[in-house]
C-alpha cells in the first residue's frame, strides 16, 4: 500500500507558497498567477518566475515558515501509516524547503518528499537571489507542472491519493482511491471520478481503516475507485 499526499492546502491549512510570496515577493507575483490561471504559461513557468521575485533573507523566510499551521491530525495519520506498513510520500508542486521546514517544526522530518527544489545564491551583505529547480519535471506532463504527479503515481497497485487543488487534477485519474476536497472535489464531481470527500486527516484515517480492515481486523484489498 502506498499513500501519496499533496502538501499545500492538504497537510498545511493554507497554501504555503502563496503565503510566502504574499509576505516576501514583489507584487508582480499575482500578475504571474493570473497568467497561469488563464493558461498563458505553464505551472512550472509560473512557479519559477514567482520564486525569482522573493526579496528576503533565508532566516526571515524560515521564521515565517515556523508560524505555518498544519492539520493537527496529520502526525497521527503518519503514525497510522507506519504502524500498518503503508508507504507515505508527499507529492507537491510546491517548494521542497518550505515543506521540510514546516514539517520539521512539527517533528515530522522523516517523510519522503517529492517537490520543486529551492535554489538560493547568497551575496555578501545583500539578500540572496532565489530560483527554482525541477528535478521531477517531465516533458510529457500534460499540465506543464514542475512536478509531474502522474509520473510518480502509477495506476498499478494499491495507491491512495489525497489532495485538494488544481495540481491534483491529472493524478486523480491515476490513483485507485482518491480523497478530495475543495477544487479537487469539484473536479472529480465534474468528471465523474469516484472519490471520498474529507475535511481533515482524522476523517481520512478513519475511512482508510474502515476500508482496509474487515471486522476480524484482517487486511483486505482496496476497492477499485476508477470508472471504466
DSSP per position, 120-175:
EEEETTEEEEEEEE-TT--TT-TT--SS-HHHHS-SSSSEEEEE-SGGGTGGGGT-
Cell matching residue 208: 482508510
| Residue 156: per-residue pLDDT | 65
For 178-198, the pLDDT digits (tens) are 999 999 999 999 999 999 999
| Residue 218: per-residue pLDDT | 44
Yes or no: say if 10 and 162 are a contact pair by the CB < 8 Å rule. Answer: yes
| Residue 123: per-residue pLDDT | 76
pLDDT under 50: residue ranges of the chain:
216-228
| Residue 221: per-residue pLDDT | 45
With b for 16 or more beta-carbon neighbours within 10 A and e for fewer, the 139-168 pattern comes to eebebbbbbbbbbbbeeeeebbbbbbbbbb
| Residue 211: per-residue pLDDT | 84
| Residue 104: per-residue pLDDT | 96
| Residue 226: per-residue pLDDT | 41
Backbone angles phi, psi at 184, to 5 degrees: -65, -40
Amino acid at each position: 500500500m502506498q499513500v501519496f499526499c499533496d502538501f499545500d492546502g492538504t497537510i498545511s491549512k493554507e497554501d504555503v507558497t502563496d503565503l510566502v510570496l504574499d509576505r516576501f515577493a514583489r507584487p508582480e507575483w499575482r500578475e504571474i498567477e493570473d497568467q497561469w490561471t488563464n493558461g498563458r504559461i505553464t505551472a512550472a513557468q509560473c512557479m519559477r518566475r514567482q520564486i525569482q521575485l522573493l526579496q528576503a533573507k533565508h532566516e526571515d523566510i524560515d521564521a515565517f515558515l515556523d508560524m505555518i499551521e498544519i492539520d493537527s491530525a496529520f502526525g497521527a495519520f503518519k503514525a497510522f501509516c507506519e504502524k500498518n506498513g503503508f508507504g507515505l510520500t508527499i507529492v507537491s508542486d510546491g517548494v521542497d524547503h518550505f515543506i521540510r521546514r514546516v514539517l520539521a517544526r512539527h517533528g515530522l522530518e522523516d517523510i519522503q518528499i517529492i517537490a520543486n527544489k529551492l535554489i538560493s545564491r547568497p551575496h555578501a551583505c545583500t539578500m540572496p537571489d532565489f530560483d527554482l529547480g525541477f528535478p521531477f519535471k517531465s516533458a510529457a506532463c500534460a499540465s506543464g507542472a514542475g512536478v509531474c504527479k502522474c509520473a510518480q503515481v502509477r495506476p498499478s497497485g494499491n495507491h491512495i491519493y489525497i489532495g485538494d487543488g488544481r495540481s491534483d487534477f491529472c493524478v486523480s485519474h491515476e490513483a485507485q482511491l482518491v480523497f478530495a476536497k475543495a477544487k479537487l472535489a469539484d473536479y472529480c464531481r465534474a468528471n465523474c471520478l469516484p472519490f471520498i470527500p474529507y475535511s481533515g486527516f482524522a476523517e481520512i484515517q478513519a475511512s482508510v481503516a474502515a476500508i482496509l480492515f474487515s471486522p476480524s481486523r484482517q487486511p483486505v484489498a482496496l476497492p477499485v475507485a476508477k470508472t471504466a
